[in-house]
Amino acid sequence: MSRTAEFIADTTELRVGPRWAQPLVPQPFEDALTSLRVEGSILLHGHHRPPWAVDVPSADNLRELMKLPGNVRVVPFHLVLEGNFDLHFEDEAPLRLEHGQIVMCTDGTAHRMSQGKGARVRAFENVLTTGRWRMSSEGRSPAGSETELVCGGFSLRSDSLNPLIAALPRVLIVDTRAPGANPMLAHIVAMIELELARSEQDSFAASRLIEILFAEALKDHARSAGVERAGWFKALQDPKVGRALAVIHQQIGEPLTVEMLAQAAAISPSRFAARFRETMGQSVMAYVSQWRMNIACRKLAETQLGLSEIAALVGYQDTAAFSRAFKALVGQSPAHWRSSKAR
């Protein structure tokens, strides 16, 4: 599969059906989503006639344009309210984005958006300054070819060990208008259109609606991906493994063992350990450590709690043992990690 392999989640109905037969275990998904501290920002909204082409920088450069601190991860997004455009990644075939689709570039790779041929490429930062997507000297476009786009970024925090982010494809495309689509997605898009029609693009309401669209699109993708491939999303739909995940998320400061979690899942420890690894692609205790260190990262970045307090919150009575476990997963000591995120 290519680096920018496209995943189109053709969104599903809210009624019970094949994809919704096993609902997500709510707490782990909501915990992981909440942990990200998502903030949506609309940077551009407008109607554009071809030909035009715009280079969108990498997430790091986009973060600087948005004047965000270094501990924030930016996920660029583009929502097509009318028309279509092509999305280009280096050395990859272009992806066509149509009316009603939203694309999220979760790995933050630089990319190009275009419609039509022969346009001079503009830098995204110049478009932000001028609002112009094509040079005035470029020719007239055919009637009815106009594209309405909303472009922006989702700002994520504490994403280092977050299982939700790790489970996402690098390029996620969700079609809010597909046959049988989850109607909530289309309703959110309609509300975004109404809000943008009556207010500034960066209004409080528009930003919150974009955040809701992010959450619902990821939830829909989780249901789709969980049916098709092993991983965290599949675990959320497994009645046994999902039950254990809920316990892991509920009891972050309590001692947990494979035997205790197997009891919660109501199967033998050996069967549970095998099922967990087969479903998740990692061992039970590896996930316990990952989730607890994800919480520790958040506490280090967002609070002034001491290391011993954070260690106790995630189940370590020995600060030295906590520091060793943290460094093994994150690659830095807790103190160095906290210092790097403060810059």
- Look up the pTM and report it: 0.84
In order of 291, 313, 338, 340, the CA distances from 335 in angstroms are: 19, 16, 5, 9
Q: How far apart are CA 176 and CA 183, in angstroms?
A: 8
Cis upstream peptide for 269 (omega within 30°): no
The owner of tokens 């739909």 is 237
How many C-beta neighbours within 10 Å does residue 207 have? 17
Res 202 pLDDT > 50: yes
What is the structure's pLDDT at 16? 35
Domains in the chain, CATH or no CATH each = 6-229 (no CATH), 238-342 (1.10.10.60)
pLDDT one-digit tens code per residue, 308-328: 999 999 999 999 999 999 999
Contacts 24+ apart (CB under 8 A), 327-333: 329/161, 329/289, 329/290, 329/293, 330/160, 330/161, 330/293, 330/297
CB contact at 8 A, 181 and 175:
yes
What is the structure's pLDDT at 342? 65
Read off the tokens for 10.
């053709």
Q: How far apart are CA 80 and CA 189, in angstroms?
A: 10
Per-residue pLDDT, averaged over 7-25, amounts to 39
- Residue 247 backbone phi and psi in degrees, to 5: -65, -45
Read off the tokens for 105.
């570039």
Q: How far apart are CA 264 and CA 79, in angstroms?
A: 42
Closest of 105, 254, 101, 269 to residue 172, by C-alpha: 105
In which band, very low, low, confident or very high, does the pLDDT at 199 lie, cut at 50, 70 and 90?
A: confident
Res 249 pLDDT > 80: yes
| Pairwise pLDDT comparison (202 vs 117), residue with the higher score | 117
List of residues 6+ apart from 265 with CB closer than 8 A = 240, 241, 243, 244, 272
> In which region does residue 113 sit, left (phi positive, over 0), alpha (psi from -120 to 50) or beta (all else)?
beta
pLDDT one-digit tens code per residue, 29-80: 999 999 999 999 999 998 889 999 999 999 999 999 899 988 889 999 999 9
Read off the tokens for 47.
């109607």
